[in-house]
Amino acid sequence: MSENSKDRLVKTATVTEDMLACNAGSGSLRVLATPAVAALMENAACVLAQSRLEDIYTTVGTEISISHTSPTPVGAEITVTAVLEETEGRVFKFSLSAQDKNGIIATGTHTRVSVKSESFQRKADEKFNA
């Protein structure tokens, strides 16, 4: 499920086994892994940024900072929100949050930069061909 407005995107997800710290390589407990919550938050920002671009462009993440402050078990539903706070040229800056039914579990910020999809991919593919 997602709720989209001009400057805000809200998505929901259910915590699955592959998202747990013990299965994601980021810990030993059966709780939502920090890398998994970061990926969900980044995805919301990515989708929101893409909604403002022509098809020949995409965005790449350049910085993310999150504070993951509360554990969430498998099977729980979480809601992730990305809010576009600022754009400057090709740069998109977001505030991020995630919550479960008991409240906020993570907050953060994220920066993305728009690039031409084809030329960026070509540059990456050719990186070690010299």
Give the active site residues: 34, 42, 68
Beta bridge partners of 25: none
Asked if 38 and 64 count as a contact pair (C-beta separation under 8 A), the reply is yes
Q: DSSP state, 22? A: H
Asked if 2 and 82 count as a contact pair (C-beta separation under 8 A), the reply is no
Q: How far apart are CA 73 and CA 22, in angstroms?
A: 12
Q: How far apart are CA 106 and CA 80, in angstroms?
A: 9
- Long-range contacts, stretch 86-92, CB < 8 angstroms, 24+ apart: 87/52, 90/114, 90/115, 92/45, 92/49, 92/52, 92/59
